[in-house]
Amino acid sequence: MSRETDRGAAAAVAGTLLAVLMGWEGLALHLAAPALPAPTQVAGMAAWLARDGTLFTDMVASLRRVFTGFTVAAVLGLGLGALGALGGQWTAGLRALVAVIRPIPPIAWIPLSILWFGLGDPSAWFIVFIGAFAPVFVQTCWALSRCPPRYLELSRSLGAGPWLTLLRVRLPAAAPGVVAGLRTGLGLAWTSVIAAELVGAQSGLGYRIQMHRVVLETDGVMVGMVCIGLCGLVMDGLARQVERRLVDWAP
């Protein structure tokens, strides 16, 4: 992408955000309703929470839970996904089990997670794991099982064994799909931890949103929502950079 294109995209993003903020400010001033605080009010609350240290403490707590749960989901999703792709009919039961669990939203697991693990980090780790595991497993299984036949035929014609074919042919061919699954799982892990913190934690951005809601501080609720969006944007941007470095041959 050229520098001119980058500047044009940045200008478009900045213009869109400015228009949204101006429209939001004007609507909030016109309605003068506590349920819709103006961006200036939200910024003031964010500054106060930042000076207090609460905002950063909650962000770190949420990110730590995401990192823990996502790491476990990624390791198991990659390993079991590879097993599901290469294990043939013997792993049909595993693929069917994931197909049954996958449509259940992570928020539906929250009551069970609280009963099993109580309030706090273990419950949130479990919800994050549930949210991230399925896309990593499914994408890994799909990518490894869709290796182009001509690649495998060429590998066999050159005398490569199963392990060498896996390392030199299947994995490079599947890498773009696998990394895409990891990115999707990371995004779902972030949304899952917020849902878990709304009812099953005593720290984090989700918990902070719930506390501000209880005392009717709508600007505090909006601060939490904006932080969630910004953190998600930064995480996705970092994931894209990692993807470009790891699979630079992908389109």
The pLDDT score that the predictor gives to residue 249 is 61
Query: d(Cα 71, Cα 89) in Å, to the nearest integer?
Result: 28
Query: Are the CB atoms for 70 and 186 separated by under 8 Å?
Result: yes
| Domain annotation covers residue 15 | no
| Domain annotation covers residue 3 | no
Mean pLDDT score of the chain: 84
The pLDDT score that the predictor gives to residue 66 is 93
pTM of the model: 0.83
Percentage of the chain surpassing pLDDT 70?
A: 91
Confidence bin at 2 (pLDDT 50/70/90): low
User: pLDDT tens digits for 191-250?
Assistant: 898 888 887 778 889 888 988 888 888 888 999 999 998 898 888 888 888 888 877 665
| Domain annotation covers residue 124 | yes
What residue numbers bound the domain in which 217 lies? 49-246
| Domain annotation covers residue 17 | no
User: Residue 162 pLDDT > 80, yes or no?
Assistant: no
CA angle 32, 37, 40 (to 5 degrees): 110
Q: What are residue 239's phi and psi, to 5 degrees?
A: -65, -40
The pLDDT score that the predictor gives to residue 248 is 66
Q: What are residue 135's phi and psi, to 5 degrees?
A: -65, -35
| Domain annotation covers residue 125 | yes
Kindly report the number of other CB atoms within 10 A of residue 85's CB atom: 21
User: Residue 1 pLDDT > 60, yes or no?
Assistant: no
| Domain annotation covers residue 221 | yes
User: Residue 69 pLDDT > 90, yes or no?
Assistant: yes
| Domain annotation covers residue 38 | no
Looking at residue 83, which CATH number applies to its domain? Answer: 1.10.3720.10
The pLDDT score that the predictor gives to residue 242 is 83
Q: Determine the residue type at 109.
A: W
Q: How far apart are the first and last CA of the chain?
A: 13
Percentage of the chain surpassing pLDDT 90?
A: 25
| Domain annotation covers residue 37 | no
Specify the higher pLDDT residue, 33 or 121: 121
**Among 96-100, 117-121, 144-148, 165-169, which is the least confidently predicted range?**
165-169
What does the block give as tokens for 148?
Answer: 């182009």
The domain tally of the chain equals 1
